[in-house]
Amino acid sequence: MVHGAIAERHGTPDQRSGQTAPTGNYAAQGDNLAERTRKKLPIAAIIATIPLMIESVGVYIFGIGLSVYFSFTNTVVFPDYKLVGFKQYERLWSTDVWITAVKNIWIFGILSIIANLVFGYLLAVFMDQRIKQEDLLRTIFLYPFAMSLIVTGLVWQWVLDPNYGLTATMHELGWTSFYFSPLNDANTALYGLVVAGVWQGAGVTMAILLAGLRGVDAEIWKAARVDGIPAWRTYLFIALPMMRGAVATVLVLQCIGVLRIYDIIVSMTGAGPGNATMMPAVYVLQYLSDRQNAAQGMAAATTMLLPVVLVLIAVGLFRLFRRRKVVTL
Amino acid sequence: MSAATMDGNVTAATKQPTGPKPKRVTIGRIGLYAFLIISAAFFLIPVYVMLITSLKDMPEILSSNVLTPPLRPTLQPWIDAWLHACTGGDCSGLSPGFLNSVKITVPAVIVSIGISSLTGYALSFWNYKGANFFFGLLIFGAFVPYQVVIYPIIIGLRTVHLFSTLPGIVAVHTIFGMPVLVLLFRNFYAGVPIELFKASRVDGAGFWQTFFYIMLPMSVPITTVALILQVTGIWNDFLFGVIYAGRPNWPMTVQLLNIVKTTQGIPQYDVNMAATIEAAAVPLIIYFVSGRWFVRGIAAGAVKG
């Protein structure tokens, strides 16, 4: 009867009249409680998940749909619903700046992901050697991640400033042939961004991979040692393949970070010199604000979404079938 | 996977490191420490330079090495950055931005965590038909580049007259915080024994009572993680602030960039760097104080990056 009382509190009359199962014989069906409640009392749960519905449908279906729709219009600042076909996409792919942005994100993405993985794994392996100061070092390696990308960009802009930072310091110390100011040269500006990106993210990679290393069965290490396999080969060819999960996490995080890269560009290079560090996300924002051509921005944004959707459809389905209970990113 | 990454320092204390046991000081051991020390220097030096530069006055900056500590330490740049630094015609420093960041962060953190923990609870224990469809969409949202939904959200907020307002930016932070937070809470509640829920139901507690009296008090650890994640994330945000908050509500990151970028002539390195440290201070303090908790949030939080 207790159950019935709750049902009354939460269920609407319509709902209850639709139910035919008796509410009295509670103990007999105790094990089915979860299922019973699901049938009986969805109202409170539905009310509680209204924000979820609004967001998932409103933003991720309706919103994305709207963006895609506007990419086929001539929308400037306020919505214009007249369709004009693929005009915006033709314009997009005939714009040099966009081509540069796409080229840049590939170069930057591949370089920074590799640099991040290699440096992060090296740090993790070295941290795994019974270092007494592990906690202190972990704190040092991770702290840049706590800071805003705006701050990171500004810090590195100063460090790489030839009149002030690293280069000037080396000159003062007597190493006059030293020159490392990648941001001032269109050919090397992307490398400067990679350095800043690694500085910000290598600690996180280290933390995730170190946890992965510690998760590898101790027996494996013993066996490898008994077989006389050198430690570096164990780390590279035995441990690394066994921690695919951790590596996948790092890769996913890195890919999302690369695709979204915006703040650090704005603060560090302003997409320059010229358009040497232009990125797709910056292109979208420029067309939304300064250039006041939302449709062109949406065409670029839709193009950015495409690879995400394709990868997610492949990976998402695979994962959904493998793990039902706990979903991890 | 996230369970493995969440251990942080606990792992270090309870589990043996997997590497071979060092017998004595060898060349390899020296090389190992050399690598770690150089790496630590790589991570520390940029902020060290920023810190000592912010404590020098301009003549000393121009005449001295960036690595040497200040001869005449001064807090004047910090004061100037806080109260007098100019952005365009406005010379009131970073302090209005700080206030705005507080006004944005506090309600956004409360609203996003409140909604997300409730949603996570409903999804774990009261999963109705169709709920997983919405949840799947939300997780998809964690991967969507922000640029795709920025314009529709502008239109949406304009329609309800919340564009360029404080409630508007709070709503936006809630929207973009929810995918990760709901996942975090749902996974946490999925680990709570179902018996506990059943017992609460047998005792006559309904949906809301079970949530407020049983589940919420249990979720202090995960709420702490979420809190750290959200406070640092929202405080560090630039993109949403500059788009949705409106000029009078611009958060600290936006004002910081404006201060640094509007410098004319010789850049005021001292003031700029003091301002940068001031803008980074809140998340850094949270990081150093929370330590282990921060590391726990990373696996989930980095997704927002």
Full 3-state SS string of chain A: CHHHHHHHHHCCHHHHHCCCCCCCCCHHHHHHHHHHHHHHCHHHHHHHCHHHHHHHHHHHHHHHHHHHHHCCECCCCCCCCCECCCHHHHHHHCCHHHHHHHHHHHHHHHHHHHHHHHHHHHHHHHHCCCCCCHHHHHHHHHHHHHCCHHHHHHHHHHHCCCCCCHHHHHHHCCCCCCCCCHHHCCCCHHHHHHHHHHHHHHHHHHHHHHHHHHHCCHHHHHHHHHCCCCHHHHHHHHHHHHCHHHHHHHHHHHHHHHHHCCHHHHHHCCCCCCCCCCCHHHHHHHHHCCCCCHHHHHHHHHHHHHHHHHHHHHHHHHHHHHCCCCCCC
- List the single range of A247-251, B213-217, B272-276, B301-305 with lowest mean pLDDT: B301-305
Q: Do A70 and B151 touch (CB under 8 A)?
A: yes
| pLDDT of amino acid A116 | 94
> In this structure, how many other beta carbons lie within 10 angstroms of the beta carbon of residue B127?
18
CA angle A326, A328, A329 (to 5 degrees): 160
For residue B83, pLDDT over 60 is answered with: yes
Round to whole Å and give the CA distance between A119 and A117. Answer: 6
Q: Which residues of A touch B118 (CB under 8 A)?
A: 48
| pLDDT of amino acid A91 | 87
Round to whole Å and give the CA distance between B266 and B87. Answer: 16
Q: Are residues A185 and A226 in the same domain?
A: yes
Q: Are residues A84 and A101 in the same domain?
A: no
Round to whole Å and give the CA distance between A97 and A276. Answer: 9
Indicate the pTM of the whole model: 0.83
Query: Do the domain assignments include residue A13?
Result: yes
Query: Do the domain assignments include residue A196?
Result: yes
| pLDDT of amino acid A26 | 40
For residue A49, pLDDT over 60 is answered with: yes
Number of structural domains (chain A) is 2
The last residue of a domain, from among A88, A110, A133: A88
Q: Do A59 and B126 touch (CB under 8 A)?
A: no
C-alpha closest to that of B174 among B126, B93, B240, B223: B240
Helix (H) or strand (E) holding B164: none
| pLDDT of amino acid B140 | 85
Positive/negative CA dihedral, A131, A136, A138, A140: negative
What are residue B87's DSSP bridge partners?
B90
Show which of residues 113-172 on chain B sit within 8 Å of chain A, judged by CB atoms. Answer: 115, 118-119, 121-123, 125-129, 131, 133-153, 155-156
Q: Are residues A266 and A290 in the same domain?
A: yes
Report helix, strand or coil for B90: strand
Q: Are residues A233 and A297 in the same domain?
A: yes
Query: Do the domain assignments include residue A27?
Result: yes
Q: Are residues A116 and A57 in the same domain?
A: no
| pLDDT of amino acid A119 | 95
Q: Are residues A71 and A214 in the same domain?
A: no
Q: Are residues A106 and A73 in the same domain?
A: no
Average pLDDT over residues A253-260: 88
pLDDT in tens, A15-27: 333 333 333 334 4
Q: Are residues A56 and A104 in the same domain?
A: no
C-alpha closest to that of B97 among B224, B260, B229: B260
pLDDT in tens, B257-283: 988 887 666 778 888 888 999 999 999
Owning domain of residue A186 = 96-322
Q: Which residues of B touch A130 (CB under 8 A)?
A: 17, 19, 21-22
The last residue of a domain, from among A65, A88, A111: A88
Distance from CA of A59 to the nearest CA of B (A): 7
Residue A236 structure tokens: 């590279």
Residue B138 structure tokens: 């939300």
Q: Distance from first CA to last CA of chain B, Å, rounded?
A: 18
Q: Which residues of A touch B121 (CB under 8 A)?
A: 48
C-alpha closest to that of B246 among B149, B168, B153: B168
Q: Are residues A305 and A188 in the same domain?
A: yes
The last residue of a domain, from among A34, A56, A88: A88
Amino acid at B154: I
Using pLDDT thresholds of 50, 70 and 90, give the confidence band for residue A122. very high
Q: Do B11 and A312 touch (CB under 8 A)?
A: no
Q: Does domain B95-301 sit in CATH 1.10.3720.10?
A: yes
Q: Do A49 and B119 touch (CB under 8 A)?
A: yes
CA-based max dimension of chain B: 76
For residue A2, pLDDT over 90 is answered with: no
CATH 1.10.3720.10 domain span(s) along chain B: 95-301
CATH number at residue A166: 1.10.3720.10
Q: What is the mean pLDDT of chain A?
A: 80
Of A63, A173, A225, the CB nearest to B152: A63
Q: Are residues A109 and A83 in the same domain?
A: no
Pair B145, B226: CB distance under 8 Å:
no
Q: What is the mean pLDDT of chain B?
A: 83
For residue A11, pLDDT over 70 is answered with: no
Q: Are residues A35 and A101 in the same domain?
A: no
Q: Are residues A17 and A41 in the same domain?
A: yes
Query: Do the domain assignments include residue A329?
Result: no
Amino acid at B125: F
Residue A136 structure tokens: 């202190």
Query: Do the domain assignments include residue A236?
Result: yes
Distance from CA of B100 to the nearest CA of A (A): 16
Using pLDDT thresholds of 50, 70 and 90, give the confidence band for residue A7. very low
